[in-house]
Amino acid sequence: MIYSASLDTELDADAVEFCPDEEFANVAICGTYKLEESDAGGRADQQTRHGRLLVMNVDTTSKLEPCASMESSLDVSGVFDIKWLALDTHPALWDTVRAAPQEGTVDAARALLGHAAADGFLYTYTLTRATDEPTVRLTRFADIDCRSDDAPDGTLALSLAW
């Protein structure tokens, strides 16, 4: 069955990925990107790239039409790519994620989200549901600097493949 739903992301949507964990299969992450050009001739190191990771609930149970709603959002460096890593096949990494302190968390997806960012970093996030509210949120897990020591200012992380 093919569904169609729309949601205003405010910034340009660059990537959308559904969570691979069955318990969170209705959750999609949308990565956005906005380039703020400077008046200094458009040099890469003088431009600002910001973005947002939007956590969306996509309800496909309706017989009439699916509904997409915003659960939460996280302001981040510009999003060029996002990918999920299912942790079912990586038990040692899953143990590390579960051991990380996440105050008030009831449930966590068995997956990590990776975000290739405009600042040259790869950020990873866990998807969690808190004790005191049903909202699903991304929680930053680890950061990896992908820039080499001799990289020029403005170096970007463009893509991610697990």
Q: Is residue 17 very low, low, confident or very high in pLDDT (cuts 50, 70, 90)?
A: very high
Q: Is residue 49 very low, low, confident or very high in pLDDT (cuts 50, 70, 90)?
A: confident
pLDDT surpasses 90 at 123:
yes
3-state SS of the chain is CCCCCCCCCCCEEEEEEECCCHHHCCEEEEEEEEEECCCCCCCHHHCEEEEEEEEEEEECCCCCCCEEEEEEEEEEECEEEEEEEEHHHCHHHHHHHHHCCCCCEEEEEEEEEEEEECCCEEEEEEEEEECCCCCEEEEEEEEEECCCCCCCCCCCCCCCCC
Average pLDDT in the chain? 79
Mean pLDDT calculated for residue range 56-60: 81
Is the whole-model pTM more than 0.85? no
